Amino acid sequence: AAILTSLKEICEDPDTYLDSKVYLEGIVVKTIATDAYINLDFEDEETGDIQRYGLFIFSGYRSYGPLLTIGNFIGLTGTITSFNGNLQMTNVTYSPYYPSDDDIKLIEKNHVLNPLVITAEEGNDEKYINVIVTINNLHGTGGYKDTETDSMTIYCVDDLNKEIKLR
């Protein structure tokens, strides 16, 4: 059986959940091919501050309808894993014809979760990994391509002359 948890719990204590089967909920905020990023806001009960948490959902190259619509509030069962140091959920399933208890659940549609507006300096904080953000007034200053990993890093600065590396 899956461990019932939340994006907040996963992001704040990833080692507890690594390689575990979990159920959590979130809003689809970005899709890339058949994969997605989910985010969800949580309120700090003591301060009232809002903190957003996010997770990359790797579909295993399968096209799952509820995962591919931005704004869908979904429930997912899958395994928390790490890829290149980045947390993700794998082993998700969905079948409109032969549904199982572990399939992606569409809870509600049309949720709007606007990107958080942050500075370049704030963007270097790991808490923003997998979270949809906007950084205004960025200017590219350089970068490089890594042919081994087929990835690119772009160096940028904002109007406060603070640097962030975009990958």
Q: What is the mean pLDDT of residues 37-48?
A: 94
Sign of CA pseudo-dihedral 117, 127, 158, 166: negative
* Model confidence at 90: pLDDT above 90: yes
Under 8 Å between Cβ of 84 and 124: no
pLDDT score of 76: 97
* Model confidence at 151: pLDDT above 90: no
Give how far the C-alpha of residue 154 lies from the chain's centroid of Cα atoms, to the nearest Å.
20
pLDDT score of 124: 93
Q: What average pLDDT does the chain have? A: 95
pLDDT score of 150: 85
Q: What is the mean pLDDT of residues 104-121?
A: 95
| Cα gap 135→10, rounded to integer Å | 25
Dihedral in degrees, nearest 10, Cα atoms 8, 163, 113, 69: -90
| Cα gap 104→155, rounded to integer Å | 37
pLDDT score of 119: 94
Per-residue confidence band for 43, with pLDDT thresholds at 50, 70 and 90: very high
